[in-house]
Amino acid sequence: MASMKKRADAALKLCGGSEKDYRKEIVKTAKALYKMNNVLIISHKAPDGDTLGCAFALCRGMRKLGKNAVVRCADEIPQKYSFMYEGMEKQEFKPEHFVSVDIAAPHLMGRLADEFENKIEVCIDHHLSNSIKAPVKLVDTKAAATAEIIWILLRAMGVELDKGIASCLFAAISTDTGCFKYSNVTPRTHLIAVELMKYEVECADINFKLLDEESPAKLELKKQALSTLEYCCDKQCAIITVTSEMMEQSGASNEDLDGVSNIPRSISGVECGITMKQVADGWKISVRSSDKVNASELCGKFGGGGHKAAAGCKFGDDYESAKKQLIDAVSEVLK
């Protein structure tokens, strides 16, 4: 395993970081993965580019090492991510080892939680609020995307990257950074992207498909949601509301919401953008914020969590009460 240490060092050097403690963590996690066979890799529910890119990159990497590996997700994988599993063969086997990627909490495994939450052996993530229980945990909150960690791990394990793996990781990083424009981006993010681009990744295509392309249904949803736009806290906070009726009328899907929740924060002068989405049992809130507001702390007050600049929480049925509590909490921070 000495070579694993060397490879980890080399990978860390390539992406500009070589703290000894971090290298140790990488080696420990890479070793745990290396020992496994018949591996089930779990993505979070309502999957995004990072959780899927990590899962399929790791799955492809494990297979290259001669192991059986599959990816599972509680929800259906949106069509736009199909390139991630393109060309992968079906494998039938009884899973013996369980890995979670980009999952901050057990309930985010969705309907898979009951079956797997106590079986996770390796948890790889970048969420500050991570609460998964696992013997081996690698939670690097400095990583803009969990995919940064997966890249280092694959290198440490001696996996030869290829176009398939690199495309998954590039897509993961690109989506979790809003195409390299969020404040979570570090030199390491770019350095890893450089390494990935060496494998003929079709970056422009991936970026268009995952970040720019919009269906007519999504545009209709945006139009309707925009009509609810309101401001508070001296216009430093903007709120939009998405009702179930709007979802139905527009024909938009839940993934179409991603673009919508970025709208309020994009308005000049707004430090905190809130999207209130009606769900079966209440209101799902997503918060996007500038440095002035810690979205994760804000949502933490209501039992939620996430990142500094993007987080979420949930409220019950009472729309007005939910909104008032949110506005009060934001004004408390901004005053």
Chain centroid, CA 27 distance in Å: 23
CB 200, min distance to Mn ion, A:
25
Which structure tokens are listed for 89?
């063969």
- Spell out, one character per residue from 39 to 58, where the chain touches Mn ion: x when CB under 5 A holds, - when not: -----------x--------
Helix axes 163-176, 146-156, angle to 10 degrees: 150
Q: Which stretch binds Mn ion (CB under 5 A): 64-72, 136-144, 173-181, 278-286?
A: 173-181
CB 281, min distance to Mn ion, A:
26
Phi/psi of residue 303, nearest 5 degrees: 80, 10
Q: Which stretch binds Mn ion (CB under 5 A): 115-123, 169-177, 288-296, 301-309?
A: 169-177
Closer CB to Mn ion, 56 or 315, in the complex: 56
Closer CB to Mn ion, 25 or 176, in the complex: 176
Candidates 102, 195, 256, 271; binder of Mn ion (CB under 5 A) is: 102
CB 88, min distance to Mn ion, A:
22
Site membership for Mn ion, residue 125 (CB under 5 A): no
Residues 288-297: contacts with CB under 8 Å, at least 24 apart: 288/261, 288/262, 288/264, 289/265, 290/265, 291/183, 292/236, 292/333, 292/334, 293/330, 293/333, 293/334, 294/333, 296/128, 296/129
Can you list the alpha helix ranges (DSSP code H) found in 46-91?
49-64
CB 125, min distance to Mn ion, A:
8
CB 232, min distance to Mn ion, A:
29
Which structure tokens are listed for 37?
């066979």
Binders of Mn ion among residues 232 to 291 (CB under 5 A) are none
User: CB nearest Mn ion: which residue?
Assistant: 50
Beta bridge partners of 101: 124
Q: Which residue has the tokens 């980009």?
A: 102
CB 167, min distance to Mn ion, A:
17
Closer CB to Mn ion, 172 or 272, in the complex: 172
Phi/psi of residue 255, nearest 5 degrees: -65, -25
Distance CA 289, CA 311 (A): 9
Closer CB to Mn ion, 51 or 241, in the complex: 51
Closer CB to Mn ion, 224 or 286, in the complex: 286
Candidates 25, 176, 256, 271; binder of Mn ion (CB under 5 A) is: 176
- CA-CA-CA-CA dihedral for 286, 56, 85, 163, to nearest 10: 110
**SS3 category, 175:** helix
Give the amino acid at 262. Answer: N
Q: Which stretch binds Mn ion (CB under 5 A): 38-46, 96-104, 181-189, 262-270?
A: 96-104
Closer CB to Mn ion, 132 or 330, in the complex: 132
List interacting residues with Mn ion (CB under 5 A).
50, 102, 146, 176
